[in-house]
Structure 1
Amino acid sequence: MNSWPNDLHVDSLRLEAGRVPSANNIHASKTSWLGTLSLAFQSLGIIYGDIGTSPLYVYDSTFPDGISNKQDLLGCLSLIIYTISLIVFVKYILVVLWANDNGNGGTCALYSLICRHSKVSLIPNHQPEDIEISHYKLETRSRQKIKHKLENSKFAKLFLFIVTIMATAMVIGDGILTPSISVLSAVSGIRTRSSSLGQGAVLGISIGILIILFGAQRFGTDKVAYAFAPILLVWFLLIGGIGLYNLIKHDIGVLRAFNPKYIVDYMKRNGKEGWISLGGIFMCITGAEAMFADLGHFNVRAVQISFTFITFPTLVCAYSGQAAYLRKFPEQIGSTFYNSTPDLMFWPTFAVSVCAAIIASQAMISGAYAVIQQSQNLGCFPSVKVIHTSAKYEGQVYIPKVNYFLMISCILVCAAFRTTDNIGHAYGIAVCFVMLITTGMVALIMLVIWKTNIFWIALFVVIFGVIEILYLSSMLTKFIQGGFLPLALALFLMAIMGIWHYTHRKRYLFELKNKVSVEYVRELVSKRVVSRIPGVSLIYSGLVEEVPPIFAHVIANIPHIHSVVVFVSMKSIPISKVALDERFLFRQIQPKEYRIFRCVVRYGYNDVIGEPNKFEQQLVEQLKQFIRDQNVTYLGGVGGADAEQTNNNLLVSSQQQSNNDCFVKDGQGSFSKPASTSSYQGVDMSRASSDSIHSLEMDSRNSSQNLQGVEEEISFVQRAMEKNVVYMLGEAEVVAEPNSTILKKIVINHIYNFLRRNFRQGENLMAIPRSRLLRIGMTYEI
């Protein structure tokens, strides 16, 4: 459904949207190879901390009861090598990274990409104010049959939404489990050199580090960003070097594990126990999803380079070296990493490992903040305060309330589970669920958007889907021992997100149904029912079309409005960022002397709503530009050569005149730009009638008067802004209809309103000064 009626103002609005730079121009500048290499180095400190610290606990988690057969080490190493090669390298590095949303990764990015190419969003997102954005990049070559089935299936839309919020909830869960297991496993190494320290002391030190870690979040990762990459580089060199040392000293023969037959032998020899041990082996790729989720900080090539030439080879060396050490000292399983570290290198390695664990935690905590911010902008999470801590990295945000929730949760997890083995059971399930969801969503993108050959899609789904389901089934056997935690947490967060999104959608549809007609506004002003006072009113609404119901409520109670009125709709677009030139979209309610406008403020899930003064300045500047563009001159028929041509009008804006750009409005009301200014739709201007030429000359003489009127109008708006700007927000109490079911009443009347009261309100989100805020109370029955 189009939000804007198909009249002249729609066309002018679309011309305005069309004058912004194209997507090709916006993304024309490519990062140089030197810049890509710099990003590759920086990516070490942001996205590889989790997967890089996995060697601390993989073998210990795989063999919790000890090693009964040394040949099992070859099978375990072979599984580790091929799991990293297939899941991380082939799936993520070669395929998934390319399924990004204008450079941003993660489940929300995949969902927004699918929603833009198919009408599967639960809230309409294919309106003109959505698609007329250069970053939107709608394609028309999608597989139409599959797309049609998706768009007409309520089950498909709901299922896609549910798996998206499930993956988001799992990522938030990773923000709890990663700090717990990483810090606890790093600190546990001290017991190999100080036997007097018990598990209680290790637990206390770990909790202390976690408190410091979460306490430092408010300073932002940008303050230590340059220190991250060198520390992780040292860490990878250390684990790779120690691995090579153990490989050469103890048993270089473990490199036979590159032969996949050892995987078959391992599974045959161990049967059910071998299948159960897959849960520990899977820990070698925890953090792989972070490469995709944190892609927005870097670019695809940078991540590919850093993984291929640093992360991958050093991890293979580390795991091979530990296998060689355990082949000689199988009884030392339990603290394999520190036991295999040479005495001379122990304390430097221990110090760097703690730093690496903290960095790994930092990356996942920041990732949890980022997905919450994205979910909030997509209408799937209650409003919370989001602080951007870095001007350089867009995705680095801090959310105070969520930070305290994560900190308390981490402390409780460490205190309850005490060891990395039990936490690992929970951690693996969360990560594997997210990977499986990513596989399905990328396959859908390959099918509908990329139009990949069906054979390759089937191969992608079968190979990676089977592997991930196999790993997941193994980890679910530890459900009682801790595997229930991520599922319980995910269900809790999904309930919050689902209830919020459901009510948010119902509220939007209620406003859409009860919108105020433009004719009603005209009648109010023309009959002098309301008086005008100096200043600007910004009346906020969730509607992007017509006039919101709050306006009638305001007039009924306060029969005064400011001299300039702007109905503002803050519309979230399912893309990462909206360019400033495309952010504000205006339409004027006629007649012009009323000075009543509608404005859609479009922003992506990574955009920042500016401070009030900056926002006002941007809005007014764009409004003045809109007024300039509305200074149009209608030229009469340009010749008698074609009778039908007399019905055509030439629309020339003052700005376009200076650029010699003219637009033609045909009989159907659409605009087009002719190839040259000497001929319009087959009519040669040199043969135009003298009357038409005289008319053009008269219009040119009147243009200065029109421009003077425009400048007066712009000056009026500027004076009104300087006089006073008032924000009007609807304080809508949302309740279920009297005849609703008991479940619906519980969800809306109690749970939703509890969340709304205890999270941030609109004026706080936009930092609106209370002295200029007018809150209007209303009741919505949905």
Structure 2
Amino acid sequence: MAEKVESMREELVQTEPTEGEVLEKKIEQMKERKVSWGRVDSLNLEAGRVSMTHRHGSQVNWRRTLSLAFQSIGIVTFTHGIDHTDDIIGVLSLIIYTIALLPMLKYVFIVLWANDNGDGGTFALYSLICRYAKVSLIPNNQPEDRQLSNYKLDSPCNELKRAQTIKKKLENSKMAQYILFIVTIMGTSMVIGDGVLTPSISVLSAVSGIDSLGKTAVVGVSVLILVLLFSVQRFGTDKVGFAFAPIIMVWFLFISGIGLYNLFVHDIGVLRAFNPMYIVQYFQRNGKKGWVSLGGIFLCITGTEAMFADLGHFNVKAIQVSFSCVTFPALITAYCGQAAYLRKFPDHVEKTFYNSIPAPLHWPTFVVAVAAAIIASQAMISGAFTIISQSLTLGCFPRVKVVHTSAKYQGQVYIPEVNFMLMIASVVVTAAFQTTEKIGNAYGIAVVSVMVITTGLLTLIMLVIWKTSIWLIALFLVGFLSIEAIYLSSVLYKFVQGGFLPLVFASLLMAIMAIWHYVHKKRYMFELNNRVSSEYMTQLASNPSINRIPGIGLLYSELVQGIPPIFCHFISNIPSIHSVVVIVSIKRIPLSKVAVEERFPFRQLEPREYRIFRCVARYGYNDRMEEPQEFEEKLIENLKEFTRIEHLVLEGEAPGNGEKTEEQVEAVQQPNPSSNSSPSIQSFNATATSANSSNLIVPSWIVDYRPIRRAEEEMQFVQAEMERGIVYLLGETEVVAAEKASFFKKLIVNYVYDFLRKNFRQGETIMAIPRSKLLRVGMTYEI
């Protein structure tokens, strides 16, 4: 008997060895992906896991540090002349140690490590905190999101009591969550405001090198360059940056070479500024006047926060090496050269940089300076685009069109509406202020405010995520916050002299963000509290008046937990439903990238024969949203794969440790005459029947091929319905304040929010849905 069974095994292997291997592979996939497809009873568990790791490629983009290096031509510290020649050495000493402590030590060697999978800025710091603790104001957290390959956080110690205590306090305190949110949007608003000020001050500084032109002509040329600069943004960061890439290194060579020339020709003695005692002596001589001058000195590092906000993909160590070996030496050499020149020509304060250039190099340096100003400005503009794109994921900014300009680097985006508004604001600022001194007063307040916010957020990250020693945290917080507080007090002194401008920008942007986020949250909570019940779905399946029409319906909803109430509204207005329905939620995960393999987790709703599925399409805040056709293809392919795996999982969940039930054995014994089985499967069934006729016990290694056929049939059904047509079902929800709401709430919801909603892009425009495939149904939410 044993020999006969062994003979049957060999015959089967010889008959269809490839089929057996394929089946084994499919069963292994079924075991591995059983959790991934999330076949659970709760609709709150709808995401999956793919055990893959993705790393960002490392690249050194000199554009990131150019915005800092470019400030060397726009600083005017001695606005009222030089009273004492040693003041030049004192100011130079302040510049050296300011650059060494803030951009280099704080940002390059500490803050850069707090990147979010290669992306920087205030939002990146906030997203790190949101991933570690449930501090997001919108409750769309899902435990499965933590299983994403880019989601996990490496911690030195997972059991540190201090970190767990702070985490619990953050999660249990609404006040702390609101403060964290307000601080974040304040920081992002300030950086967006820099997108207006940086082009203005950079271009004005560069164009001021034309001595023969008057102030009016300088402003006119600057405005023209600004219009051209914003006009080319549509071509993308890669193309604009690549066109001027050689200019960046030439600029570094120019400022360092000119600095060395002035240093050796005029006064090499300024190198005494490396002695910090000259800082003490400077403040002893000047008192309050020295404190006020810090506002001008701070301009030497105003590109620092932009360098962090517009990082994109990078390698921390590469940035550290490039800054330490190229940017920092070039900056220090340039400032030392200017100080040496001023020691000999103390009256040439207003245009120190251009006056210190040797005559044969004046015009070449001017051309390079203008090109460098354009690149530095473009870096800040693209940083503003990135920040607004990130803000959309929090539901804190009205819908705008985000265009991904690079297929290679998906974090590079262009936003037409924002580009136009930044251009208008930048032109108005340039024409109104006309000098870099006044714009510099505004610029300093914006940058130092963001620096203070970054210090606070990074301290929180050190406490709850990095779990750094409390003494090192105290040293970081007290040391850098003290320096930044002194600079902040100085720049605020010139509030009425232009310093109010960034606060006006920030206040306006914060108001827009706060109002939009408030109503967005209220609308989300309304949908969450009015989800469709499972009883309704059961009644719907048994309702004979509901017609099933061919094709696939994609019902869009922002709700990621349960079925949105708009679904009932669709059914009550249009008593028909497609043969296959997928409720799709576009969810922005608080990380920069989501792997494509992890993007479309599915779950099938009960009753299963009704073919209604849930899909939470997960995107990072720097991921590109596919075009409708590409999105459809990826979604349907993942749906077909889900149905195949789901059928295998269901059939594989038979009782008894891998043993077959009598019905399953009978299914093996009796092939389906109506099915188009392959010869190999028919041969397999015939062998099983022959074994049964000899009263043999069917061994456990014989596997039923019938579930595989049913899974393939289900995939073919989905494919056939896709070919019949896909329709996008969108709910056009209008949000209004309740009748008993306060006057202020009615003003915010019914007028301000409604104005923003109507004057920015609608959902179908953002997703570029063809009108021929669009079906909308209106619904009003009272909050």
User: Hey, what's the Cα distance between the residues in 2 that align with 1:564 and 1:344?
Assistant: 74
CA deviation profile, 1:536-566 (whole Å, cap 9, x unmatched): 0001111112211111111111101110011
* Partner residue, 1:21: 51
Q: Is the 8 A contact 2:197 2:439 kept in 1?
A: yes
User: Hey, what's the Cα distance between the residues in 1 that align with 2:356 and 2:128?
Assistant: 46
* Partner residue, 2:655: 636
Q: Is the 8 A contact 2:199 2:426 kept in 1?
A: yes
CA deviation profile, 1:125-144 (whole Å, cap 9, x unmatched): 43134323221115654611
Find the partner of 2:91 among 63, 76, 90: 76
Q: 1:739 to 1:694 in 2, by over 3 A?
A: farther
Q: Is the 8 A contact 2:46 2:616 kept in 1?
A: no
CA deviation profile, 1:713-748 (whole Å, cap 9, x unmatched): 110100101101000011000001111111111111
Which amino acid is 1:530 matched to? I
Q: 1:379 to 1:7 in 2, by over 3 A?
A: closer
Q: Is the 8 A contact 2:411 2:623 kept in 1?
A: no
User: Hey, what's the Cα distance between the residues in 2 that align with 1:13 and 1:547?
Assistant: 10
User: Hey, what's the Cα distance between the residues in 2 that align with 1:125 and 1:260?
Assistant: 52
Give TM-score scaled by structure 2 length. Answer: 0.88
1:236-635 superposed matches below 5 A: 236-631=252-647, 632=649, 633-635=652-654
Q: SS at the partner of 1:346?
A: helix
CA deviation profile, 1:78-137 (whole Å, cap 9, x unmatched): 000000000011101110000011111111110010011011111124313432322111
User: Hey, what's the Cα distance between the residues in 2 that align with 1:11 and 1:49?
Assistant: 52
Which amino acid is 1:525 matched to? A
Q: Is the 8 A contact 1:13 1:587 kept in 2?
A: no
Which amino acid is 1:182 matched to? S
Find the partner of 2:74 among 48, 57, 82: 57
Q: SS at the partner of 1:184?
A: helix
Q: Is the 8 A contact 1:125 1:573 kept in 2?
A: no
Q: 1:101 to 1:298 in 2, by over 3 A?
A: same
Find the partner of 1:166 among 168, 178, 186: 186
User: Hey, what's the Cα distance between the residues in 1 that align with 2:751 and 2:47?
Assistant: 44
* Partner residue, 2:28: none
Q: Is the 8 A contact 1:571 1:600 kept in 2?
A: yes
Deviation at 1:517, TM superposition (A): 1.0
Q: Is the 8 A contact 2:519 2:749 kept in 1?
A: yes
* Partner residue, 1:722: 723
Deviation at 1:69, TM superposition (A): 1.0
Larger radius of gyration: 2
User: Hey, what's the Cα distance between the residues in 2 that align with 1:748 and 1:764?
Assistant: 23
Which amino acid is 1:161 matched to? F
Q: Is the 8 A contact 2:140 2:561 kept in 1?
A: no
Tell whether 2:750 aligns with 1:749.
yes
User: Hey, what's the Cα distance between the residues in 1 that align with 2:134 and 2:534?
Assistant: 28
Structure 1 consecutive aligned stretches of length 4 or more whose deviation exceeds 3 Å: 10-16, 138-142, 693-697
Deviation at 1:396, TM superposition (A): 2.0
Which amino acid is 2:421 matched to? F
Which amino acid is 1:722 matched to? E
CA deviation profile, 1:552-586 (whole Å, cap 9, x unmatched): 11111110111001111111111101111111111
* Partner residue, 2:139: 124
Q: SS at the partner of 1:253?
A: helix
Q: Is the 8 A contact 2:233 2:240 kept in 1?
A: no
CA deviation profile, 1:354-396 (whole Å, cap 9, x unmatched): 1111111100000011100110122111110111112223232
Segments of 5+ residues of structure 1 without an aligned counterpart are 641-645, 647-692
Q: 1:16 to 1:176 in 2, by over 3 A?
A: closer
* Partner residue, 1:668: none
Find the partner of 1:178 among 198, 214, 227: 198
User: Hey, what's the Cα distance between the residues in 1 that align with 2:43 and 2:575?
Assistant: 32
Which amino acid is 2:409 matched to? Y
User: Hey, what's the Cα distance between the residues in 2 that align with 1:744 and 1:407?
Assistant: 33
Which amino acid is 1:127 matched to? Q
Q: 1:257 to 1:767 in 2, by over 3 A?
A: same
* Partner residue, 2:29: none
Q: Is the 8 A contact 1:566 1:598 kept in 2?
A: yes
User: Hey, what's the Cα distance between the residues in 1 that align with 2:765 and 2:707?
Assistant: 42
Which amino acid is 1:590 matched to? E
Which amino acid is 1:209 matched to? I
Which amino acid is 1:157 matched to? Q
Identity of aligned residues (%): 61
Q: 1:181 to 1:478 in 2, by over 3 A?
A: same
Q: SS at the partner of 1:728?
A: strand
Cα RMSD (Å) of the superposition?
A: 2.2
Q: SS at the partner of 1:775?
A: strand
CA deviation profile, 1:452-491 (whole Å, cap 9, x unmatched): 0000000000111010110010000100000000001100
1:95-114 superposed matches below 5 A: 95-114=110-129
Deviation at 1:518, TM superposition (A): 2.2
Deviation at 1:225, TM superposition (A): 2.5
Q: 1:332 to 1:16 in 2, by over 3 A?
A: closer
CA deviation profile, 1:675-728 (whole Å, cap 9, x unmatched): xxxxxxxxxxxxxxxxxx96874x945x21111111111101001011010000
Q: Is the 8 A contact 2:580 2:721 kept in 1?
A: yes
Which amino acid is 1:199 matched to? K
User: Hey, what's the Cα distance between the residues in 1 that align with 2:658 and 2:621?
Assistant: 51
User: Hey, what's the Cα distance between the residues in 1 that align with 2:535 and 2:432?
Assistant: 64
Q: 1:695 to 1:433 in 2, by over 3 A?
A: farther
User: Hey, what's the Cα distance between the residues in 1 that align with 2:238 and 2:613?
Assistant: 40
1:142-153 superposed matches below 5 A: 143-153=163-173
CA deviation profile, 1:274-328 (whole Å, cap 9, x unmatched): 0000000000111111222122232212211211111000100000000000001
Q: Is the 8 A contact 1:129 1:600 kept in 2?
A: no
Tell whether 2:762 aligns with 1:761.
yes
1:194-205 superposed matches below 5 A: 194=212, 197-205=213-221
User: Hey, what's the Cα distance between the residues in 1 that align with 2:223 and 2:203?
Assistant: 9
User: Hey, what's the Cα distance between the residues in 1 that align with 2:232 and 2:46?
Assistant: 48
Find the partner of 1:86 among 87, 96, 101: 101
Give TM-score scaled by structure 1 length. Answer: 0.88
Which amino acid is 2:193 matched to? G
